[in-house]
Amino acid sequence: MVGTARNGRVRHAFSVVNGGQDLGPSSAPASNAGSECDGIEFTREDVEALLNERPRRKDRFNLKEKCDTLTEYIKRLKLCIKWFQELEGSYLFEREKLQNSVEVSERQCNEMGILFKNKEEELNSIIAELRKSFASVQEKFTKEELDKMTAMESLTREREARLEIERSQNSLSDELGRVQRELSSANQKITSLNDMYKRLQDYIASLQQYNSKLHMDLSTVEEDLKRVEKEKASMVENLSMLRGQLSVSRQSQDDAIKQRDSLVNEVACLRMELQQVRDDRDRHQLQVQTLTAEYTKYKESTEKSCFDLDNLTSKKDELEERCLSQSNEIRTLKDQLLTAERKLQMSDLSTLETRVEYEGQKKHISELQTRLADAEFKLIDGEMLRKKLHNTILELKGNIRVFCRVRPLLADDGPSTEGKVISYPTAMDALGRGIDLVQTGQKHSFTFDKVFMPDVSQEDVFEDISQLVQSALDGYKVCIFAYGQTGSGKTYTMMGDPGDPEEKGLIPRSLEQIFKTRQSLQPQGWKYEMQVSMLEIYNETIRDLLSPNRSSSDMLRTENGIGGKQYTIKHDANGNTHVSDLTILDVRTAKEVSFLLERAAHSRSVGKTQMNEQSSRSHFVFTLRISGVNESTEQQVQGVLNLIDLAGSERLSKSGSTGDRLKETQAINKSLSSLSDVIFSLAKKEDHVPFRNSKLTYLLQPCLGGDSKTLMVVNISPEPSSAGESLCSLRFASRVNACDIGIPRRQTNMRLPDSRLSYG
């Protein structure tokens, strides 16, 4: 918490209030906290000096002096922690105020944003409606204009057609007059020709009469000639005279014949002329009939065109009226559009003002968020320092640390009518550390080092124990074991889900961290060697899970208590534990350990009960021995990491175990009962602690009664039907948390003769 903060800003050290020195802005809440702790504040140097302080004793066997020194040191640590808690409270109060102000500002911004959006949507809808109406009116107007143009064009065409018709009518009238005149002249000609024809007929008749007369005369002459010939004899004297008369008559006859031929020719010519005149008359009559028909047709089309013209004129008048009304409507809509645009401009101005105000609120929120981030950073620093001080106190006190984890409700749990039986207090002193359980209407409260709610991930759980795992590389003995009833999630916490990388448990994550840290320490000159062993305690019998000769027949003989290899547990003077004939393998990578874990998981004893489909029927113990040497400083460390998955406690009435499952349940409950007896003895500080009552407690003796850093993860089921077992687990965990097992000791500067068989 003390030191360089984020964003490159330098954190000011805490000063002493009695000195009258002012504090910087970043340490403003500390002055109130210091005033509640007798006016004392702590700087970074004070805290580091307090943490690094080691008791100096003249007489190492003077326990009273040692006790007084530790008591005084613990009082100062408590005072420092109390000061940091008060500082944390003030930071939390300021953080809550900032969060409230941020929430209020965000609500205001959200309301203004919603108001702005509503107003903008309303204006957009109005503009869209106006635009739609304007577009429809404009479309109607365009359509009407097109109709009007079409009507005008048709009217123009009709007018042109009418003028053309009139011109055609006039030309036809002129032609008709001309034809009528020609007809009248032809009629006159025909009349004159008829008169001439009549005269010619009369003349022909007269010629015919004359010819007939001539014929008659000829006949008379012939008769006279005959009579003369008869009288020739008598008229010889008159022959010359008669010949003369005959020649004259013949000459006159020839003249008459010639005259008749000329008249016949003239009549033929007149007949041809008459035929031609008749043909011309028929042709002119046909032309007159054709022109009369065309005139009638043009007259009818003219009447129709006049009717259409009248209709178009009425249409034109109607369209002009509609156009005038639509022009008025468009003018009105334009006025409305101008009004809407003015409103839009006003709304834009108000929107701009709102946006400016929104930007100001946003800037204010960002400032508040920055202050909140600073406060959270200070809070995180304070929490880290509090944890460090708390761990230091726990190490000095020698207590076993206890974490509590509540698994989420599963689909197989079924519906419950009793409601929730587990809750979490929100008070500052119990936040994240307290848990309440209700059974038969009575509330039981517990406080541990950490409480994990059901929604906490595997990664978050491991983050809180990662420093403890790191201690194994630093040369400490570390033991982490999971405790709880069957089906509470112990194996999931320790092993996780092998098929999902996000659901890995504490054991795989611890190995990954150790190998990753080993890799990062190589440039500093550190070289580590690691050895792994895995065993299970099944029905008070130790089984080697990594034994290469392990088979199903060996397991069967061990279950029946016959044959099988016997393993013994021994403790040496240095607090190390040895298991005879146990397989210990050297490992170099996390993959090798993962393979061995998978192999051990397949060899471990599991069974089905009414409480759990895959219930662990044995206690699983994973041990990693770490031996490190720094070539540059020649420093040597010996660390041990024990990760233990205990079998679940269960009641026979709920598990329904029979046969082999019944024997397993009895053996599990017996070993857990022995563990409870050991915890009771340690809590009461009795002289005799019954570690030898079971293989489990005897194996865990260095973790429970030695110099090891020990953590118990108690797993709780949230089912109301399991409230009784959960209460027993929480009570047992509370007793474990109160046990004082001594200050953990770091193993450095020594090399064990045989480091392969120790559990620490």
Annotated binding site for ATP: 484-491
Q: 499: which residues sit within 8 A by CB, 6+ positions away?
A: none
Q: 105: which residues sit within 8 A by CB, 6+ positions away?
A: 361, 364, 365, 368
How far apart (Å, rounded) are the C-alpha atoms in residues 509 and 513? 6
How far apart (Å, rounded) are the C-alpha atoms in residues 708 and 695? 19
> For residue 484, is it left (φ>0), alpha (ψ between -120 and 50) or beta?
left
Is 713 in contact with 403 (CB distance < 8 Å)? yes
Q: 43: which residues sit within 8 A by CB, 6+ positions away?
A: 2, 13, 14, 15
Is 671 in contact with 619 (CB distance < 8 Å)? yes
Q: Name the H helices within 490-630.
A: 490-494, 506-521, 552-559, 590-603
Binding residues: 484-491
* Residue 538 to residues 181, 394, 490, 557, 604, Cα–Cα distance (Å): 146, 33, 17, 13, 9
Burial of 391 (0-12, 13-18, 19+ CB in 10 A): middle
How far apart (Å, rounded) are the C-alpha atoms in residues 290 and 184? 17
How far apart (Å, rounded) are the C-alpha atoms in residues 145 and 132? 19
Q: 567: which residues sit within 8 A by CB, 6+ positions away?
A: 535, 542, 544, 579, 580, 581, 582
DSSP class of residue 563?
A: S
* Token reading at 52: 């690094």
Can you list the positions of beta strands (E) in 572-703? 577-579, 585-587, 606-607, 615-616, 619-630, 635-645
